[in-house]
Amino acid sequence: MSKRTKRKPMIAEEAKRLRQQSEDQVENFFLDRDPIKQYVRHFGWLQVVQNYVEKRRNDGVDRPLKYLTLPGPNAPDVGLLWRAGLLVRNDNGFPDVVICDKEHADDASKVLGAVGGVSRQWFHEAVLQELEPCFPFDVINLDMYGPVVTSSPNRDWALRTLAGIRRAVRLQKGQSFLLLLTNSTDDEPARTYLEGVLLQNFNEDDFTEAYLERYKTLDLIPFRNNYRAFVSLVLPKAIAKMARDRGYRITEHFVAKYDRESHHLLCHSFELEPLGGRDPAKKYEPRFKSIVWDELNEELSSHIQKLAINAYAEFIPTLVPRDPLDVLEIFNTKPSLKAEMTKEAESLIGWQNPNRPESRTRR
């Protein structure tokens, strides 16, 4: 076999890698400038975080936010929050930001400088190892392209991201926080698992009443041809169960749908607030000094468990009447808003450059 023949597989693999790299660069170029994505950043992230910070201040807490993000190569979310004065930047970088990005951690690190932690693993792997010492956070932004629940025949693999989120909630140690969650709804064969989750709720009176009021039936027919609407109802329920089990009240502040070329996406913004008669400022500190992974030991008092069960029962029916905002539909009716979001997105290009006018006016 000639040397040229031997090199062919390596050449083909390198060509494939370069093509993928080029496609990623083009996708990131348009994503960073996309007004639809900027709408989500502005109303689903920036405004929600601003309101949360104001709430913290009213409760007597004014320390810097600790922020976990899946940033992409240019970290526009960090730039947006920093320009709004919500994240601290020093001469070296962002000490209170932790990044987790399997594909773009190195690029993001170049943009951000020194940060509080870096993981180059998938999120569900990182929370088992590298990220654990970094918890808890005030804001966790899981901006994912893939689905949280997949149709993999291997159940452990299918639920890997959901398990990672559950572990992250436990690692918060009972501290108040925001969970910003973006995921695709493209893996429709996962419907079987989600149907089982929803059917459980038909045993709950308040949920059943709300479901009947809207859909006039107690079956899954309303979602037969609308998988994304189905996910938008069931996924928050799964997150709410995690909140209940850790003694939190959960609130959904924002939910929207939008499309990419090959993805149908949902974005949720949740607040998880610890229950119980604590001083308001204490909500923003860990409830538990350590995490008990032994299920035989109960960390929550019976009083807090009851409060959490009641809060869960109150939350679930609120998911039925609401629909995710349709960002494209909003832009079709408000072209001036689309222009505003386009301008705002473009203003974030190169945000890390200290010579940009926007950067010079921020701390």
> Which range is least confidently modeled, 5-14, 127-136, 186-195?
5-14
Q: Which of 6-15, 154-163, 188-197 has the highest mean pLDDT?
A: 188-197
| pLDDT at residue number 226 | 93
Q: Which domain holds residue 158?
A: 33-288+295-360
Average pLDDT over the chain reads 88
pLDDT tens for 151-177 read 777 667 668 899 999 999 999 999 999
Tell me whether residue 115 is in a domain.
yes
Tell me whether residue 65 is in a domain.
yes
E-assigned strands of 291-350?
325-326
| pLDDT at residue number 215 | 95
| pLDDT at residue number 27 | 44
Tell me whether residue 222 is in a domain.
yes
The residue among 170, 311, 179, 176 whose CA lies nearest residue 242 is 170
The residue among 174, 100, 101 whose CA lies nearest residue 136 is 174
Of 173 and 18, the structure prediction assigns the larger pLDDT to 173
pLDDT tens for 91-130 read 999 999 999 999 999 999 999 999 999 999 999 999 999 9
Number of domains into which the chain is organized = 1
Cβ burial of 50 (10 Å; 0-12, 13-18, 19+) is middle
Tell me whether residue 345 is in a domain.
yes
Tell me whether residue 6 is in a domain.
no
| pLDDT at residue number 325 | 98
CA angle (249 as vertex; 56, 307 as ends), nearest 5: 125
| pLDDT at residue number 10 | 57
Tell me whether residue 344 is in a domain.
yes
